[in-house]
Amino acid sequence: MPTEKLTILENILSANDQLAANIRRLLDQNGIYALNIMASPGAGKTSIILKTLDSLKGIARVGVIEGDTAAVTIDSDKVINAGFSAVQINTGGNCHLDSSMIEAGLKQLPLDNLEMIIVENVGNLVCPASFDLGTHARVLIASIPEGDDKPYKYPGMYRDVDVVILNKIDLKPYVNFNEDYFRKGIELLNPGVSFFPLSCTSGEGFLPWMEWIKGKLNSSS
């Protein structure tokens, strides 16, 4: 890659990181804990977010920022219908959210009345890994049907997250998925990362994930 392109990319990422740091300070000042949820399309991001929101009713006031490449409000409508604040961001075709988009989204949320913000990033296993959004933790959702080789194929994504959720474990009997191989790939890239195998459909394994979230909320309050 020519030096000029490298310099431009470095400048973009540097500006993004500076704004992300400002966003994190703003969230801290308001006592808000934020998650960046990432995954490939179809892994179950929205379903897990909705189930998480349902489990947090009466426990925490949560807002959601939904990122999509197209001008649709399908996911944000689901969140609003569930009784939570939500903002839809159209990336204009870009394959990821960035900190300037999050800054714009935060201006539309009642920060003085929230304790947590969940960001649903664009479905992609490459671009979102490079952009800090100012959240406190980055969560990657994988799923059984995607296959057990994803940590080896997308090391950049698996290397820099704080949590890996393995969704759709209810499909294990029907899919050739080697969980030991999958976890070995994660551990090679990201030793000690928090790992939660669960099924959003059956609810199996969901409690440990919720306990992790509640622990983060308690430590940030």
Predicted pLDDT at 9:
53
What phi, psi does 43 have (nearest 5°)?
Answer: -75, -20
Q: What confidence score (pLDDT) does residue 69 get?
A: 80
**pLDDT tens-place string over residues 56-94:** 999 999 999 999 887 678 889 999 999 999 999 998 888
Task: Please say whether the dihedral angle defined by the alpha carbons of residues 90, 91, 95 and 101, taken in this order, is positive or negative.
Answer: negative
- Average pLDDT (16-35) is 97
* Predicted TM-score (pTM) of this structure: 0.92
Q: How far is 186 from 201, CA to CA, in rounded Å?
A: 24
> What is the per-residue pLDDT for 10?
62
pLDDT confidence bin for 2, thresholds 50/70/90 = low
Boundaries of domain holding 46:
3-220
Domain count, the chain: 1
Tell me what pLDDT residue 14 has: 87
Give the full edge-to-edge strand order of the sheet including 62-68.
Answer: 85-90, 62-68, 116-120, 33-39, 137-143, 163-167, 194-197
Residues 149-181: tens digit of each pLDDT: 999 999 999 999 999 999 999 999 999 999 999
Q: Looking at residue 78, which CATH number applies to its domain? A: 3.40.50.300
- Over its C-alpha atoms, the chain yields an Rg (Å, rounded) of 17
Q: Once rounded to an integer, what is the mean pLDDT over residues 136-146?
A: 98
62-98 burial code (b ≥16 CB/10 A, e <16): bbbbbbbeeeeeebbebbeebebbbbbbebeeeebbb
The tokens of 190 are what? 């990201």
